Amino acid sequence: MKLQKTLERLQKLHPKEIDLSLVRIKNLCKKLGNPQDNLKCIQVGGTNGKYSTIQTLRAILMDADIKCNIYTSPHIQKINERFIYDNKEIEDNDLTDLLNVVEEINSGEEITYFEILTAAFFYGCKKYQKNLTICEFGLFARFDAVNILKKNLATIITTIGLDHLDWLPENKRTIDRIIFEKTSSLLNSNIIISKQVDDIIQNKIKKALKYNKSKKVFFNDSYSFKLGEDNFFYYEDQSGQLKLPFPNLNGEFQLPNVASAIATIRNLENLKVSNENIKNGITKIQSIARLQEIKNGKLKNLCMNNKLFIDGSHNPLGANVLNNFIDKINGDVHIILGMMNNKNHKEYVSYFKNISSLTTVDIPNQPNAIKGAILKEKLKHIPNVNYKKSIEDAIKSIVLNENDIVLITGSLYLAGEVLNSN
């Protein structure tokens, strides 16, 4: 209850949820003693795959007994997920105390919710400065609150695609502008670029980074991977080849994220991570709401004889890779869909080529979500589209045969509600 009251106060410090600027967080961090300046940090940016890449790093580094602080956003089930110190999620009381101290130092100055959370994370790292810190930066990286570091160990750029276009002028909603926003202010250190959708985007990234003096590690130029017929994962770079077990992640589309994490670790020699740590680590990756199979719980009980998956994909890039997974299913796929209002709903759904039914739902506790009934109306051109108010009603309404699967997708916020209700 104390934590919730603190969070409610912090949400009232700025009239806008997002206000793209670094001025406020720089001012607050200065009052805090600029704790971000003393971090040994790996930053992870891009459009899709950031969370899975970070969780791969975390699993490998933990196997090597390397302690980490980790900052990601948004959280799925509870805000504590954003604050990892010493490899552990912060407890409620400790997080409340941390936020209260930062709130007091801020002295009522206008600052967005995300900005003050980010400043608090940096401030919390002061106790763990010897740890390796991993930070996700999103939206438009130039103005992301995480992007106030003066130095880092490396930056990973995951797959880049179109998303959050409503924050750009209508005449600049292009992949070129997205690439500019995500790459133009990267620090000079090591930049690892994951596999992109095609060579056109990779070449655009190369052009955007032309004058950045970092060591650049591009997929296919400096490292590569392939999936063997024996279900082993083969990674290769200038240091040699690794034969690895398939990672503890569903879907082959996760392999670029795993590979870029491995490439980063192998390019940071001071980390002292062995090949065995990599082999062991990737079998222990814990990824929430990224094609996660729900194996037990209240919702699973509604479809006991069928597989139930939850995936937080919410943009065309995510829909495309999700469809590749769907194509390999030996049975009918039934999608339950809930989305935020500012997404391109028709385009997202257009990537699903072989689904048997689509049921739209409301996302509870999200005023910026599109109502399921309105979403159904927008997608009425799709055969067998239905609307149910809740996830429970949606699952109950689906006629399932042997080998059919239920896939809940469209939003990380929906994923959080699903996991909490389960």
The confidence score (pLDDT) of residue 173 equals 84
List, in order, residues 6 or more apart from 56 with CB less than 8 Å away: 247, 257, 258, 261, 262, 281, 282, 285
Exposed (0-12), middle (13-18) or buried (19+): which is 147, by Cβ within 10 Å?
A: buried
pTM, two decimals, is 0.93
Q: What is the pLDDT of residues 8-51, one digit of tens each?
A: 999 999 988 878 889 999 999 999 999 999 999 999 999 999 99
The residue type at 355: I
Question: 240-244 and 233-237: which strand pairing?
Answer: antiparallel
The confidence score (pLDDT) of residue 119 equals 98
The confidence score (pLDDT) of residue 329 equals 87
Q: What is the pLDDT of residues 83-140, one digit of tens each?
A: 999 999 999 999 999 999 999 999 999 999 999 999 999 999 999 999 999 999 976 6
For the chain, list the domains and their CATH numbers: 2-281 (3.40.1190.10), 292-421 (3.90.190.20)
* Enclosing H/E stretch for 235: strand 233-237
Residues of the chain with pLDDT under 70: 139-141, 164-167
Place of tokens 């399932």: 400
* Enclosing H/E stretch for 26: helix 23-31
d(CA 125, CA 83): 10
d(CA 274, CA 358): 46
* Enclosing H/E stretch for 387: strand 385-387
d(CA 245, CA 231): 7
d(CA 182, CA 205): 10
84: its two tokens? 């990892």
The confidence score (pLDDT) of residue 170 equals 80
Which CB contacts under 8 angstroms, 24+ apart, belong to 97-102? 98/123, 98/124, 99/3, 99/6, 99/7, 99/10, 100/6, 102/28, 102/32
Please, are residues 76 and 84 in contact by the beta-carbon 8 Å criterion? Answer: no
The confidence score (pLDDT) of residue 26 equals 97
The confidence score (pLDDT) of residue 165 equals 66
